[in-house]
Chain A
């Protein structure tokens, strides 16, 4: 059976056809407005212009390439055309592809990209993007270094049950200025000196996916535009031969910036379409909808792509807060970086806003005038509390007090039993339990009993806090049990 036959078969599946009468269940809209005469005239003119354009266009290119033989692969050749040294040239303008125009080819046609081994990845990427835009998806590659050894050392066999931390497998390939060799690393890990080291890490991570019961371990290859094609292809070949994957190429990032350039997040003269900001908005949406798993995915992507961004710092804070101290989902490697970046980021974000007055109390007027402004300010301020608690967990015990102050401050300014109130009520108690010093646990127990007495159903699961309170109650009971 061929892929075309599979496509045809799927089109015929009766279960995927809408049942008759479904349209009767649809709601009805108001009657459509009649078009004014001017609109009809304008549409007619546009239509005529369109026809004229098509006539002229087809006259210029009378033989569309769609008449090619179906099974013969379309070969896209990427060659160097310039006076410079081909082996070192990374100027994309010097690398031309033939055919340049891929529009009009049959979309079921197989494509083979034939690129010189020294061709920069950017040139190959350009060809790939062109294929996708033209609807060509059956893409294969040439293998200019196909006989090169493919060193892969399997990871050691697991000795027994162990905790598995899943993170995105992202192979980053780059070239540092002045260096003739490609730098390889996986995610935020240190540079791998050899391809063997790199693949060892990858295989270990793939094995982790297997242990977690995942059928597939997607591998994302993220090469810089100037990385030679042969270095990219080497990874692809290893993945193919070791049956790893699926392999996906990461689209080019539009810009990375240092922390200093990004501050303050959300308040500076940044364009709204910055990718890290967009990702942060996505993450907020996922968290808002209670999709923690999806939020973790977005965060992992942000960590890999914008490790220095203040939005990534904020995203990590938010996700960590929702994980209630669990460590099994978020990339552990980033934590160290976050511990360094977070105090700087939040200091720069919060200080200018003067949320807290001279007495250390939250000033409601500083939060904003509109509801979205206030919500954003409260979110940010709460993140400060979460960050301080994380710092405390990492050893700076005095930060527990600061975190507690933040949550108590919010409790004072919000309406009783609103979502903020319930969250902060919980966080105050959870911070006490976390600290666990002296009478903290007993205080937390009494506090929780008071809440339960006043609200036996807690938030009635309206804001997802009831379950957290009940878990906390169990945890306190467990910790207070005599050993």
Chain B
């Protein structure tokens, strides 16, 4: 990491959360990388400084828009996907792979709150602004999602 490069400094601050968010929206690593790159590109094209404190929320907003556009475009295709293609991978209970699979099963509005809270370390106020919902709504979505994940990730272990 080249110290002093404002873009890289910004990436260091938000890169991890941004990538995780993009990955959770797209479900694909290559697209997530593209989204992060595209977000930075679009941000810098606006002429704003990477040192701007609002850069983070702006980047998350761009990634969100890109993700939602993609979701709409692929909605029709997804309808025709076979059940087999959408089946959960065979993984051991309690593993990261199962956690990811369960995360991807959550409805989009809950999934994005979970990722933004846990991996991007955003506050509920910040998440609320990003997803255009009150902070309380973001918090309740987070709670519902975490309850679901806890139940689903606990079930196989208890059954063993």
Q: Are B99 and A9 interface neighbours, CB within 8 A?
A: yes
Quick check: is B70 within 8 A (CB to CB) of the other chain? no
Residue of B nearest to A8 (CB): B118
Q: In the bound complex, how far is the Cα of B144 from the Cα of A139, in angstroms?
A: 11
Q: Would you call B60 an interface residue if the criterion is a C-beta within 8 Å of the partner chain's C-beta atoms?
A: no
Stretch at the interface among A125-133, A313-321, A324-332, A359-367: A125-133
By a CB distance below 8 angstroms, the chain B residues around A216 are 107
- State A18–B22 Cα separation when bound (angstroms): 10
For the complex, is A248 an interface residue (Cβ under 8 Å from B)? yes
Least CB distance, B157 to chain A, in whole angstroms: 7
Q: Is residue A145 contacting chain B, with contact meaning CB distance below 8 A?
A: no
In the bound complex, do residue B149 and residue A27 qualify as a contact, i.e. CB atoms below 8 Å apart? no
Q: What mask results when residues 15 to 32 of chain A are scored 1 for a CB within 8 Å of chain B, else 0? A: 111110011011111001
Residue among B33, B44, B96 having the largest count of chain A Cβ atoms under 10 Å? B96
CA distance A271 to B146 in the complex (A): 39
- Please determine whether A6 and B99 come into contact, CB atoms closer than 8 angstroms: yes
Residue from A14, A26, A131, A215 whose CB has the most chain B CB atoms within 10 Å: A26
Per-position 1/0 for B24-45, Cβ under 8 A of A: 1000010001001100110010
Q: Is the interface of A mostly helix, strand, loop or mixed?
A: mixed
Q: How large is the interface on A (under 10, 10 to 19, 20 to 34, 35 or more residues)?
A: 35 or more
- Assess whether A17 is in contact with B16, with CB atoms less than 8 Å apart: yes
How far does the alpha carbon of A132 sit from the alpha carbon of B119 in the complex, in Å?
Answer: 19
User: Smallest CB-CB separation from B115: which chain A residue?
Assistant: A16
Please tell me if the beta carbons of A23 and B154 are within 8 angstroms of each other in the complex.
Answer: no
Point out the residues of chain A lying under 8 angstroms from B40, CB to CB: 26-27
Tell me the B103-152 residues at the A interface (CB within 8 Å): 103, 107, 114-115, 118-119, 123-125, 132, 134-137, 139-144, 146-147, 149-150
Taking a contact as CB atoms under 8 Å apart, the answer to whether B7 and A137 are in contact is no
Q: Within the assembled complex, what's the spacing in Å between the Cα atoms of A3 and B153?
A: 10
Give the residue name and chain of the A residue nearest to B40 (CB). Answer: A26
CA distance A94 to B125 in the complex (A): 28
Do B15 and A23 touch across chains, with their CB atoms under 8 A apart? yes
Q: Which of chain A's residues have a CB closer than 8 A to the CB of B5?
A: 28
Within 8 Å by CB of B146, from A6, A18, A27, A28, lies: A6
Asked if B50 is at the interface (CB within 8 A of a chain A CB), the reply is yes
Which residues of B lie under 8 Å from residue A25 when comparing CB positions? 33, 36-37
Cβ-defined partner of B8 (8 Å) among A16, A26, A128: A26
User: Quick one: which of B20, B51, B94, B143 contacts A16, CB cutoff 8 A?
Assistant: B20
Contact A29 B44 (CB under 8 A): yes
The residues in A between 131 and 172 inclusive whose CB is less than 8 angstroms from any CB of B are 131-133, 135, 137-139
Task: Across the interface, name the chain B residue whose C-beta is closest to A220.
Answer: B137
In the complex formed, the residue of B with least CB distance to A282 is: B132
Taking the closest CB of chain B, its distance from the CB of A373, in whole angstroms, is: 25
Q: A9-B94, A137-B124, A137-B139 are known contacts. Are A29 and B49 too (CB-CB below 8 A)?
A: yes
| B124 closest partner in A (C-beta) | A132
Tell me if A11 is interfacial: C-beta within 8 Å of chain B: yes
In whole angstroms, what is the CA distance A137 to B100 when docked?
Answer: 22
Tell which of B23, B136, B149 has the most Cβ of chain A within 10 Å. B136
Interface: A270 (CB within 8 A): no
Contacts of B100 in A (CB 8 A): 13, 15-16
B85 at the interface (CB under 8 A from A): no
Which residue from chain A places its CB closest to the CB of B146 in the assembled complex? A3
Min CB–CB distance A300 → chain B (angstroms) = 14
Q: Assuming the A-B contacts A3-B150, A27-B7, are A129 and B136 also in contact, with contact meaning beta carbons closer than 8 angstroms in the complex?
A: yes
Does chain B have a CB within 8 A of A246?
A: yes
Q: Which residues of B contact A (CB under 8 A)?
A: 1, 4-8, 11, 15-16, 18-20, 23-24, 29, 33, 36-37, 40-41, 44, 49-51, 68-69, 72, 94, 96-97, 99-100, 103, 107, 114-115, 118-119, 123-125, 132, 134-137, 139-144, 146-147, 149-150, 153-154, 157
* Known A16-B115, A248-B141; 18 more pairs at CB < 8 Å: A3-B147, A9-B94, A13-B100, A14-B96, A16-B23, A16-B119, A18-B36, A19-B33, A22-B11, A22-B15, A22-B33, A22-B36, A23-B11, A26-B11, A32-B6, A129-B136, A216-B107, A248-B136
Residues on A lying within 8 angstroms of B by beta carbon are 1-3, 6-7, 9-19, 22-23, 25-29, 32, 128-129, 131-133, 135, 137-139, 215-216, 245-249, 251, 282, 289-291
